[in-house]
Structure 1
Amino acid sequence: MNLPDMPHTVAAAFAQVPRSVRARLLDIRRLIFEFSERMGTVGPVTEALRWGEPAYLTQITKSGTTIRLGRSRSAPKDAAIFFNCQTSLVEEFRIQFADEFLFEKNRAVIIPHRRALPENAVKFCLCWALTYHLGECRKQRADS
Structure 2
Amino acid sequence: MATYPDTATAALLKVRGWIFELAATDPAIGKITETLKWDEPAWLPPSQSGTTIRADWKSKAPDQIVIYVNCQTDLIDRVRSHFEGILQCEGNRAIILPLDRPLPEGPVKTALGWALTYHRDKRKR
Q: TM-score, normalised by structure 2?
A: 0.90
Determine if contact 1:42/1:64 at 8 Å carries over to the other structure. Answer: yes
Aligned: 1:26 with 2:13: yes
Determine if contact 2:48/2:120 at 8 Å carries over to the other structure. Answer: no
Match of 2:48 among 47, 62, 82: 62
Aligned: 1:88 with 2:69: no
Distance 1:63 1:39 in 2: 11
Runs of 5+ unmatched residues, structure 2? none
Distance 1:100 1:71 in 2: 20
Runs of 5+ unmatched residues, structure 1? 1-13, 140-144
Between 70-79 and 34-43, report the one with greater CA deviation.
70-79
Identify the structure with bigger relative contact order (alpha carbons < 8 Å, sequence gap 6+). Answer: 2
After TM superposition, what 4+ stretches of structure 1 lie above 6 angstroms from structure 2? none
- Cα-to-partner distance string for 1:30-83 (whole Å, 9 max, x where unaligned): 000011011010011000000100000013x53000000103687432111100
For the aligned residue pairs, the C-alpha RMSD in angstroms reads 2.0
Aligned: 1:47 with 2:34: yes
Determine what percentage of the aligned residue pairs are the same residue: 43
Q: TM-score, normalised by structure 1?
A: 0.79
**Amino acid across the alignment from 2:78:** E
Higher strand share: 2
- Cα-to-partner distance string for 1:2-42 (whole Å, 9 max, x where unaligned): xxxxxxxxxxxx22322211100100100000110110100
Aligned: 1:99 with 2:88: no
Distance 1:28 1:82, change over 3 A: same
Indicate the residue corresponding to 1:77 in structure 2: 63
Distance 2:90 2:84 in 1: 12
